[in-house]
Homo-oligomer: A and B are copies of this chain.
């Protein structure tokens, strides 16, 4: 029997019936009180090479060292595990972001700050991720244009994409839809990683306290 593989373009209709949501006896608020900060999702979106992973892991380190419960959900790592069955087609990307949004929401409900670093090029997909944790979702636009990212090309992926060795590469052969109203924008063309992390730390200290 083939591995069930899902490539839908919207929130799936729930297939399972006869299931009942069970409430935790410990609320998110109790967890937040214990941790002395709010739980939530910091959703980093931007092109490959814009600095999402660098900033995500940098911010995680800074927050951890200040006593926060924090965990990075990184696109590349998730594609080795939870989303190993998905490709980079539009449908595959949508399902990847849907699942990541659900997992990030679980961490948020557990009282943790989940920093999610995914290209997540489609606005509609990011809305679905937001919908999983609507009151605790903070979109962070890690902003750098294609020319800048291509000049950096830390993994040599733009070169491969231009050579036609990678299909569906965001910014080259697949679109990127920038956020309309991200809660935070870090401009990595102008800021050093250290400066961007400082902006994000200030945001967290303001919004998650």
Contacts and interface: CB of A to CB of B under 8 A. Distances in A.
A79 B20 CA distance: 9
Contact of A103 (B31, B82, B95): B82
Q: What is the count of identical protomers in the complex?
A: 2
B26 A60 contact: yes
Interface in A3-58: 3-6, 8-26, 30-31, 34, 53, 57-58
A9 B105 CA distance: 27
A1 B11 contact: no
Interface in A86-113: 86-92, 94-95, 99, 102-103, 105-107, 109-110, 112
B88 A16 contact: yes
B80 A19 contact: yes
Which range contains the number of A residues in contact with the other chain? 35 or more
A18 B57 contact: no
What are the nearest 9 A-B pairs in CB distance? A12-B85, A82-B102, A71-B110, A4-B91, A15-B87, A19-B76, A16-B79, A14-B84, A81-B102
Interface of A: 1-6, 8-26, 30-31, 34, 53, 57-58, 60-61, 64, 69, 71-77, 79-92, 94-95, 99, 102-103, 105-107, 109-110, 112, 132, 155, 157, 160, 166
